[in-house]
Amino acid sequence: MVLRTMRAVRPGEVPIDGGTAVQDHPDRPVFRGNGEFDYACVQCGNVLAAGMDPAYMTRRVRVRCGRCGTVNIAAEISVAPARRQRGGPR
């Protein structure tokens, strides 16, 4: 299992949609899957999501740490395949 550190959501960074998952218990990851990466809080290192595939850890996935309260977002958003027209405006 590879541990990745998430990053804090920057002020003014507007969520695209959805909400922020709140970790109820610091010892229990909010998400648990069959991927190869654990995602840890940038502030305290607490594991927020375990066994995740990077494809799921998009900009939409935000987790409030149950230990320190930091709202985290996956740092490597670009890992998810972007559906972007090559050469287009976006």
* Contacting positions for Zn ion (CB under 5 A): 41, 43-44, 46, 65, 67-68, 70
3 state SS of 55: helix
Nearest distance from C-beta of residue 26 to Zn ion, angstroms: 8
Looking at the Cβ atoms of 13 and 82, the one nearer to Zn ion is 13
Q: For residue 75, what are its two tokens?
A: 């740092």
Joined together, the tokens standing for residue 73 give 């977002």
Identify the helix (H) or strand (E) that includes residue 37.
strand 37-40
Q: Identify which of residues 37 and 39 has a Cβ nearer to Zn ion in the complex.
A: 39
Residue 46 C-beta: closest distance to Zn ion, Å:
5
Task: Tell me whether residue 41 or residue 49 sits nearer to Zn ion (CB atom).
Answer: 41
Write the CB contacts of 44 (distance below 8 Å, at least 6 apart in sequence): 65, 67, 68, 70
In the complex, the smallest distance separating the C-beta of residue 64 from Zn ion, rounded to whole angstroms, is 9
